[in-house]
Amino acid sequence: MGKKLPEMTRREFIKGAIATTTILASGSTSVFGSEMQENSIEYPALPYADNVLEPYISANTLSFHYGKHHKAYVDNAIKLIKGTDFENMPIEDIIKKTAGNPDQVGIFSNVAQAWNHSFYWKSMKPNGGGKPKGDLAKWIDISFDNFDKFREEFANAAATQFGSGWAWLAVNKDKMHLKVVKTANADTPLSKGDIPLLAIDVWEHAYYLDYQNRRKDYINDYLEHLVNWDFAEEHLGAIM
């Protein structure tokens, strides 16, 4: 079993998480921070140059993934919501209101993919990877017993997501612990009310030019060299 936090710290975490998920449910804030609270869907700049994740993700892959796939989702989302009730709605609210609605599959898929990709870019950084520190490390121990078990569960979720999709580290808003989630296609933990901390894209366009069918190697490199624990820690800190 991993080392547990003192009970008072656990209670303080739960209290903060309840307050934050209540705010998120109201749509009055964003897990991205203030820069993502715009009412319009935007195509954000990458948080780094397109070659700085090499050799693990090449500039060639980023040029296609960000420049073609991500942009297409943004462009399609803007077209689909134009003239609808969603046009001036925050992006996270659109995701929550269209999730599971068969009449809004096109809007949900493109809006959620625009959001997911923006989150994914921030989930990586040059010289990332390794183990988290601070409160995030403690809460991984609480939720998964230890980091190695978390890593195994996360890698397995990403590797076993059949076809296209995502794997996530998220905060469960009801049970107030960290959890690993895998979602198909455009789906996101937001649609279930959970709060994402990290994402890995396992659609083939995220890795195929560099890894071909070796998805497990891509997942391993993400965890070893790319994952942005500072980004995850920032979001966890916002709900503590």
Residue 4 has pLDDT above 90, yes or no: no
Top pLDDT among 2 and 74 is at: 74
Residue 103 burial by Cβ neighbours in a 10 Å radius (0-12, 13-18, 19+): exposed
Q: Give the residue numbers spanning the domain of 15.
A: 1-36+54-240
Residue 43 in any domain: the answer is: no
Question: What pLDDT was estimated at residue 201?
Answer: 98
pLDDT for 175 equals: 59
How far is Cα 94 from Cα 92, in angstroms, rounded to an integer? Answer: 5
Tens of pLDDT along 96-112?
999 999 999 999 999 99
- In a domain? residue 147: yes
> Percentage of residues in the chain with pLDDT exceeding 90?
78
How many domains does one find in the chain? 1
pLDDT band at 37 (very low <50, low <70, confident <90, very high): very low
Mean pLDDT of 164-171: 97
For the chain, the 3-state helix, strand and coil shares in percent, each to the nearest 5, are: 55, 10, 35
Report whether 119 contacts 125 (CB < 8 A): no
In a domain, 99, yes or no: yes
Output the domain CATH number for residue 123. 3.55.40.20
Report the candidate in 33, 25, 10 with the shortest Cα–Cα distance to residue 231: 33
In a domain, 45, yes or no: no
Residue 182 belongs to some domain of the structure: yes
Looking at residue 236, what is its pLDDT?
A: 86
41 belongs to a structural domain:
no
Asked if pLDDT for residue 6 goes beyond 70, the answer is no
Check pLDDT > 50 for residue 34.
no
Q: Is residue 142 part of a domain?
A: yes
Per the domain annotation, does 121 fall within a domain?
yes
Q: Which of the four pLDDT bands, split at 50, 70 and 90, describes residue 240?
A: low
Average per-residue pLDDT for the chain: 86
Better pLDDT: 135 or 175: 135
Pick left, alpha or beta for residue 157 (phi over 0 → left; psi -120 to 50 → alpha; otherwise beta). Answer: alpha
pLDDT at 111: 98
Half-sphere exposure of 97 (CA within 13 A, CB side): 14
Q: Would the pLDDT of 220 be above 60?
A: yes
Torsion of CA 109, 114, 118, 123, to 10 degrees: 10
Largest CA distance in the chain: 54
How many C-alpha atoms does 7 have within 13 Å on its Cβ side?
0
- The gap from C-alpha 143 to its chain's centroid, in whole angstroms, comes to 18
Residue 226: is its pLDDT beyond 80? yes
Please say if the pLDDT value at position 16 is more than 50: no
pTM: 0.85
Confidence tier at 18 by pLDDT (50, 70, 90): very low
